[in-house]
Amino acid sequence: MKDRTRREFLAAGGAALAAAPLAGRVLASAPYAPPPAPAAGTVGYCIVGLGRVSIGQFLPGLRYAPHARPTALVSRDPGIAAIIARRYGIEPRHIYNYANFDRIADDPAIQAVYIALPNALHAEYSIRAARAGKHVLCEKPMAANSGQAERMVEACRRAGRKLMIAYRCQYEPATLRARQVARSGELGPLQMITARYGFNISPTFRLMGETRPEWRLKRALAGGGPLMDVGIYCLNAARFISGQEPAALQAEIGNTPGDARFREVEENLSWSMRFASGLTAACATSYGASLGESFELYGARNASLRLDPAYGYSSHRLVAGGAAPRLDFTPDFSGHRQFGAEAEHFARCILENREPRTPGEEGLRDMRLMARIYAAAGVKG
């Protein structure tokens, strides 16, 4: 992202609360309970970016991560940071802003950072965190483009720090069960996947009592439209559940003429993938229509699996159909638990010095595939 774009975005307050609506509404929606006593040997997380996901999901999710705790915050807004710090018992001396971010290198309470910023800022702050000696858990999509993602992987490698991409669905029981069934052979050879995720996006959001333009509709900040935001769930699920990588793909983009929201990013995108085994996938994502959030997998033995809901924060549901063994599985796994599971996994990887299940290389694969999807749809890089 150009330096001017970055400076303007930070000056507008977007980086600190980039995904947040009116601050009071965000805070009110985040139920508070004091963190449990930490387990022996914990990883201190610095939360970079206080918005909807970090305040409403990740921080509450740390209650379900016995080896992780919040120890520092990075925010442009000192008022919001102070409220969140009091809520989670974080001392004021562990509150940072974007000007003094690099001082986290001298804070022994921080072992890892959680990056919850707009896509185009992921690379900068992940790289700076690694250089500061901190491990990095970065929200998806990994970056705004594959070049940024490559630099993130290399920076963490050079610094000897771990890099994990927050693919929370890969730590969620229904998705893991779907993966196990798909690879067990119970469905027969896998034949077809259908996946979709979309919603009707608003051109603005409320922030600190003001109406501001939605950053997800700015290509310089988001890197693209719904494919980067919610379509990536369909792409990653197809790869993760099937255990296969696409060999060929096609794509089409459709924008409603005259809709000012989509001057820079796509409105609707559908794409198909073919795998070497003969498996095909038909996927769709949208910022113009509510498509729901589903994933369906069909096998040759007149058997199928359906995840619906498949990607959201509430508990996913997995149902088998046709000749498949009977299965109707809805785990008690709220959105907070999904975030807790990924935070706990990364903490254990740090404590036990092992590689995470969703490393930077996993995010980079999706970034490269999304670049191919855009190219197939005629979008120039």
Residue keyed to tokens 């996927």: 283
Residues 6+ apart with CB under 8 A from 288: 198, 200, 201, 256, 259, 262, 267, 268
Residues β-bridged to residue 254: 268
Domain ranges within the chain, ordered by starting residue: 3-168+339-359, 173-332
Considering just the CA atoms, what is the radius of gyration of the chain in Å?
A: 20
Active site residue 45: no
- Which residue is catalytic, options 45, 64, 88, 233? 233
List, as one string, the DSSP characters of 267-331. SEEEEEEEETTS-EEEEEEESEEEEEEEEEEEETTTEEEEESS-SSSSPP-EEEEETSPP-EE--
Q: What is the pLDDT of residue 38?
A: 47
What's the topology of domain 173-332? Dihydrodipicolinate Reductase; domain 2 (3.30.360)
pLDDT 10s per residue in the chain (381 long)? 555 555 555 555 544 444 333 334 444 444 444 444 445 589 999 999 998 899 989 999 999 999 999 999 999 999 999 999 999 999 999 999 999 999 999 999 999 999 999 999 999 999 999 999 999 999 999 999 999 999 999 999 999 999 999 999 999 999 999 999 999 999 999 999 999 999 999 998 764 466 778 999 999 999 999 999 999 999 999 999 999 999 999 999 999 999 999 999 999 999 999 999 999 999 999 999 999 999 999 999 999 999 999 999 988 999 999 988 899 999 989 879 999 999 999 999 999 999 999 999 999 999 999 999 999 999 987
> With the C-alpha atoms ordered 108, 109, 111, 112, is the resulting torsion angle positive or negative?
negative
- Which residue is catalytic, options 140, 167, 311, 374? 140
Kindly give the pairing relationship between strand 43-48 and strand 112-115.
parallel
Q: What are the angstrom distances between the C-alpha of 86 and each of 90, 98, 137, 243, 284?
A: 6, 20, 23, 44, 42
Q: Domain spanning 3-168+339-359 has what CATH number?
A: 3.40.50.720
Structure tokens at 75: 């925010």
Backbone angles phi, psi at 240, to 5 degrees: -70, -45
Active site residue 140: yes
- How many other CB atoms are found less than 10 A from the CB of residue 300? 12
Residues 6+ apart with CB under 8 A from 8: none
3-state helix, strand, coil in the chain (%, to 5): 40, 25, 35
Q: What is the pLDDT of residue 264?
A: 96
The alpha carbon of 173 is separated from its chain's Cα centroid by a whole number of angstroms, namely 17
- How many other CB atoms are found less than 10 A from the CB of residue 86? 11
Q: What is the pLDDT of residue 40?
A: 59
Residues β-bridged to residue 197: 285, 293
Q: Find the DSSP H helices in the chain.
A: 3-11, 23-29, 52-53, 59-61, 78-88, 119-131, 146-159, 173-184, 219-222, 226, 232-242, 335-352, 360-376
Structure tokens at 104: 């986290």
3-168+339-359 and 173-332: identical CATH topology: no
Q: Write down the pTM of the prediction.
A: 0.90
